């Protein structure tokens, strides 16, 4: 019987190993292939200007995705990040006459407060994250529109506020440096701190974590505060880069963040994930749209900005389906 079964087991194990490699390294391989394609097809694709432009622009989405990664690792979701970022952009613009640091700290603190409300409702009132953050999406958008009086709020250019979004060090945008520092800290936190271990444990089994004595409620609240604060930082960058707080911006940012996190291999069910792979997911999405812009410039295709939402949605669906199939392949092998 062993001889009869061994070819089937060997085949299953081979598929499982392939699934594990794709889940772990697939996004990095895809990123490398895209960069190679762009470098061979487009002149100036790897120029410092294009590279830093992609990094600088996508820093906002990267920061939101970093917060979303921690939330999803707990088994939750945060649909409010786009509205919170728009709210923070308005707060930052209104505080910009007082200088960069008061505006930055004030906007991030205001966004973190909204994240705190999310966390308290989810952790202590036991309301589903989907419902809670959907309600906050509407509330934060309303607050942004009220503060801005339903119009863009111009920033003050005389007190250094725009330095964050438009300044650079040796040609490297401040926003790109900030993105790198944020993800480096995120990797350290997830891998080497109690908080990171608690996040993964709660995502794996919240009730078991509670029985083990882990601070489940406190960890959940902290996670949503972190997500709100990072969305707030993204909102400040938005206002600083474009010179205005924009209450109607941030639409679809939650989809972009979720797509980047899932593309990076983090399971939507929680309990597993990688900060580094989330960054790769952000860069992968950013380069896809950068390539589409190059194609538009060549006249090969002609896609409006609205197609970006269509592409993000389709891309997310494909990745989730692929992730599900790979997970089934690995689960089937473990059962055997």
pLDDT at 329: 57
- Record the tokens describing residue 96, joined without a space: 């910009």
Q: Which two tokens stand for residue 115?
A: 């994240």
pLDDT reading at 299 higher than 50? yes
Rounded to whole angstroms, the Cα distance separating 38 from 40 reads 5
**Distance, C-alpha 173 to centroid of its chain:** 19
What gap in Å lies between CA 81 and CA 254, rounded to an integer?
6
pLDDT reported for residue 6: 46
Strands (E), 129-268: 153-154, 168-169, 172-173, 244-245
User: Which residues, listed in sequence order, are joined to residue 168 by a DSSP beta bridge?
Assistant: 173
With 80 as the cut, is the pLDDT of residue 285 above it?
A: yes
Distances (CA, A) of 228 to 63, 67, 110, 254, 319: 10, 8, 9, 12, 26
The pLDDT of residue 332: 55
- This prediction has a pTM of 0.88
Mean pLDDT of 118-145: 96
The arithmetic mean of pLDDT across residues 331-336, rounded, is 53
Q: Which domains does the chain have, with CATH numbers?
A: 27-37+48-326 (1.10.3470)
pLDDT higher for 114 or 292?
A: 114
Which SS3 state, helix, strand or coil, does residue 236 take? Answer: helix
Average pLDDT for residues 118-131, to the nearest whole number?
Answer: 96
Q: Is the pLDDT of residue 22 over 90?
A: no
Q: Which two tokens stand for residue 31?
A: 């990123």
How does pLDDT run across 63-94, given as a tens digit for each residue? 999 999 999 999 999 999 999 999 999 999 99
- Tokens for 291? 């390539």
Q: Could you identify the residue written with the tokens 């709210």?
A: 87
Compute the distance between CA of residue 119 and CA of residue 128 in angstroms, rounded to an integer.
11
Q: Where are the beta strands (DSSP E) in 55-187?
A: 153-154, 168-169, 172-173
Average pLDDT, stretch 131-144?
96
Residue 273 exposure: Cα atoms within 13 Å on the Cβ side:
40
**pLDDT level of residue 278 (50, 70, 90 thresholds):** very high
Cβ 280 vs Cβ 28: under 8 Å? yes
Pair 76, 270: CB distance under 8 Å: yes
Q: What is the pLDDT of residue 267?
A: 82
Record the tokens describing residue 207, joined without a space. 């009730």
Q: Is the pLDDT of residue 333 over 60?
A: no
């Amino acid at each position: 019987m062993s001889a009869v079964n061994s070819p089937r087991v060997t085949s299953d194990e081979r598929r499982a190993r392939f699934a594990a490699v794709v889940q772990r390294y697939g996004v990095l391989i895809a990123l490398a292939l895209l960069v190679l394609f762009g470098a061979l097809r487009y002149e100036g694709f790897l120029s410092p200007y294009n590279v830093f432009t992609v990094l600088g622009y996508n820093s906002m989405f990267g920061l939101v995705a970093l917060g979303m990664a921690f939330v999803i690792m707990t088994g939750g979701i945060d649909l409010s990040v786009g509205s919170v970022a728009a709210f923070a952009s308005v707060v930052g613009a209104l505080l910009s006459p007082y200088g960069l640091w008061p505006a930055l700290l004030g906007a991030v603190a205001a966004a973190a407060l909204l994240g705190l409300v999310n966390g308290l409702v989810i952790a202590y009132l036991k309301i589903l994250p989907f419902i809670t953050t959907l309600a906050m999406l509407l509330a934060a958008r309303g607050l942004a529109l009220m503060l801005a009086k339903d119009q863009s709020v111009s920033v003050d250019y005389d007190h250094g506020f725009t330095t964050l979004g438009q300044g650079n060090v040796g040609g490297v945008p401040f926003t790109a440096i900030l993105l790198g520092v944020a993800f480096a800290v995120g990797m350290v936190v997830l891998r080497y701190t109690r908080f990171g271990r608690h996040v993964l444990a709660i995502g794996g089994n919240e009730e078991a974590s509670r029985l083990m004595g882990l601070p489940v409620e406190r960890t959940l609240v902290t996670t949503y505060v972190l997500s709100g604060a990072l969305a707030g930082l993204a909102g400040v960058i938005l206002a600083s880069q474009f010179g205005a707080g924009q209450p109607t911006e941030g639409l679809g940012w939650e989809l972009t963040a979720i797509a980047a996190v899932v593309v990076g291999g983090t399971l939507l069910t929680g309990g597993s994930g990688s900060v580094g792979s989330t960054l790769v997911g952000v860069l992968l999405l950013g380069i896809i749209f950068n390539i589409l812009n190059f194609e538009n410039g060549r006249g090969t295709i002609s896609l409006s900005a609205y197609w970006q939402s269509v592409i993000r949605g389709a891309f997310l669906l494909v990745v989730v389906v692929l992730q599900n199939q790979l997970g089934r392949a690995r689960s089937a092998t473990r059962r055997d």
